[in-house]
Amino acid sequence: MAKLDRTTLSTLDPAIARPAYAPEALTPGIAHLSVGNFHRAHQAVYLDRLLRDADQQDWAIVGIGVVDSPAEAAKAQAMHAQDCLYSLTECPPDTATRVQVVGSIADYLYAPDDRAGAIARLADPAIRIVTLTITEGGYHTDEHGHFMLDSPAIAEDLARAVPETVFGMVAEALRLRRDSGVGPFTVLSCDNLRHNGRVARNAFIAYAAARDPELADWIAQNVTFPSSMVDRITPGTTPEDQQRLNAASGLDDAIPVFCEDFIQWVIEDRFCAGRPALERVGVQFTSDVAPYEQVKLRMLNASHSMMAYPALLMGHRIVCDAMRDPDMIDYIERFLAFDSEPLLSDPPGMSINDYGHLLLQRFRNPAIHDQLERIASDGASKFPSFLRPTVEGVLTSGGNTARLSFIMACFARYLGGQDDQGAEFAVTEPHMLDSDWDLASATDPVAILDASAFAGWGLAEHPGFVAEFTKTRSDIALKGVRATLKAILAQPEPLNGQG
């Protein structure tokens, strides 16, 4: 297999697309915090396309790993060994895969090895944008939108001389920039959150205020926090995937990524220190991201969650396999048509009906062996962003809540970590509180509705929904998930088309 680094780029198989620029000539203008597979398949790809333009080559990325774990340390080591290069395999649903080497990450720092060094790099005048993929639950925000200063990770960080959280690192870098006269940078969230720019702004300013009120005022007046919507299905890469991808490409790549061929990025055009000309490569800039954000979160992300829990409980483990199940297809199609889409409006230049049809095709893509366990993980953080607006909308309209009570009942069942056939699966819920676990295991089937994931939803104000949820939990326990789903699918839809 061919070694992958800058010295071997010119010798790679011509079928592998290579950067249309000299990676060693790039200058980072963007720092990205938490360099996961999604970032490497999405933002880094857009920049890779743009950096071919000579006037944009000071907008490369410096990646900063923030999580202290063996897996993240191994990734950092691989990035250094490969000169930050990696292979990306795009997988269309019905044509051959395409392999490219991405070179837009010009440098990589592993913050746990040198927190002060990572902060100093953020304070570098060349860095004009800091982007984030820290997950939906990484913003330490409660159901009222308040930043939780009493969260253990945040409280401990505020007491440190050299902060370790994303919030602390960014706040300290901005303090250094203010004090040296360098000026601010833009903070751009790329996480799946409603109003992610507003959420990020509230979180960073609240953290800074707890540490230095004058700094918080300076951030509020000078730093921009645009919202953005990101879209590309990118599975986790298992060791088996790595072997498969490298065998197909002929590369010896320790950190390959694979993804679907669909890609979209919509960004609010507010940048205090300039921005790259990403519109040249298909990024859409707008004054209002909210309509696009709502469609993506409440259709794609919500459908993923609607699918993941019952599919796991019925014995599926891979998305494309679940989407060959007639019951699952019918269920997701009805969710989109009767629950989600009627509460949305078409954003400029986008049809939600067409988007829904495309979603089903994307989910069925046999080349994307996306793991249902990955999609189901951290449901406590995902439910408020992905499903709460639809639940509230359907409850307010007096619509049919059968599918929505079903998914919440499936989530409660999923927390037991065992499907209807007795096979176990991994349950990953890093943001569930001890009290949430107590509620999930309580003998009262309604107790889980008081968990933090559902705080503020007002479910108790709808006794009909509570009764339906109670019955659905009972049906799942007695008859299993599939039989319960079949009974729900047998119900007629309202004549007005509102679910």
Long-range contacts for 162-165 (Cβ within 8 Å, ≥24 apart)?
A: 162/115, 162/116, 162/119, 163/115, 163/119, 164/111, 164/112, 164/115, 165/66, 165/207
Domain final residue pick, 226, 251, 286:
286
240-279 burial code (b ≥16 CB/10 A, e <16): ebbebbbeebebebbbbbbbbbbbbbbbbeebbbebbebe
Under 8 Å between Cβ of 232 and 304:
no
Q: Is the residue at 496 inside a domain?
A: no
Statement to judge: residues 242 and 302 lie in one domain: no
Radius of gyration from C-alpha coordinates of the chain: 23
**CATH number of the domain encompassing residue 382:** 1.10.1040.10
User: Which CATH number does the domain housing residue 212 bear?
Assistant: 3.40.50.720
> What is the domain extent for residue 31?
2-286
Verify that 148 and 130 share a domain, yes or no: yes
Model pLDDT, residue 292: 96
Measured from the Cβ of residue 342, the count of other Cβ atoms closer than 10 Å reads 18
Residue 20, SS3 per DSSP: coil
- Say yes or no: 323 and 428 in one domain: yes
The whole-number pLDDT of residue 498 equals: 46
The reply to whether 184 falls in a domain is yes
Residues 191 and 244 in one domain: yes
Fill in the amino acid letter for 395: L
Same domain, yes or no, for 20 and 91? yes
218 and 263 in a common domain: yes
Reading the block at residue 239, the tokens are 């060791």
What is the per-residue DSSP string for 437-448?
Answer: HHHHT-SSTTGG
The answer to whether residues 253 and 369 belong to one domain is: no
CB 128 within 8 A of CB 139: no
CA 109/CA 28 separation, integer angstroms? 12
How many other CB atoms are found less than 10 A from the CB of residue 435?
A: 11
Does a structural domain hold residue 472?
yes
> Residue 485 burial (CB < 10 Å; 0-12/13-18/19+)?
buried
User: Residue 396: its pLDDT value, please?
Assistant: 94
Per-run averaged pLDDT (10 residues), the chain, 499 residues: 94 96 97 98 98 98 97 98 98 94 98 98 98 95 92 96 97 98 97 95 98 98 98 95 96 98 97 98 97 96 97 97 96 96 94 94 92 96 96 94 97 98 97 95 96 94 96 97 98 64
pLDDT of res. 495: 61
Q: How far apart are CA 261 and CA 473, in angstroms?
A: 38
Residue 55 falls inside a structural domain: yes
- Name which of 27, 5, 42 is nearest 258 in CA terms: 42
- Rounded to whole angstroms, how far apart are CA atoms 250 and 252? 7
Mode of pairing for the β-strands spanning 228-231 and 28-33: unpaired
138 and 191 Cβ atoms separated by less than 8 Å? yes
Does residue 499 lie in a domain region? no
Do 177 and 185 touch, CB atoms closer than 8 A?
Answer: yes
Question: What is d(CA 110, CA 129) in angstroms, rounded to the nearest whole number?
Answer: 19
DSSP 280-331: GGTPEEES--HHHHHHIIIIIIHHHHHHHHHHHHTT--BHHHHTT-HHHHHH
Domain boundary among 230, 259, 286: 286
**497 within domain boundaries:** no
Contact 404, 270 (CB under 8 A): no
DSSP notation for 228-277? EEEE-------HHHHHHHHHHH-EE-SS-EEEES--EEEEE---TT----
Looking at the structure, do residues 320 and 282 belong to the same domain, yes or no?
Answer: no
Judged by phi (left if over 0) then psi (alpha if -120 to 50, else beta), residue 84 lies in left
Q: Residue 450 burial by CB count (10 A; 0-12/13-18/19+): exposed, middle or buried?
A: middle
Residues 127 and 250 in one domain: yes
Are residue 433 and residue 306 in the same domain, yes or no?
yes
Name residues whose C-beta falls within 8 Å of residue 423's C-beta, 6 or more positions apart in sequence. Answer: 315
Boundary of a domain, candidates 241, 266, 286? 286
Is residue 311 domain-shared with residue 440, that is, in the same domain? yes
Counting the structural domains of the chain, the total is: 2
Query: What is the predicted pLDDT for the residue at 499?
Result: 41
> 127 and 70: one domain?
yes
Residue 143: what pLDDT? 84
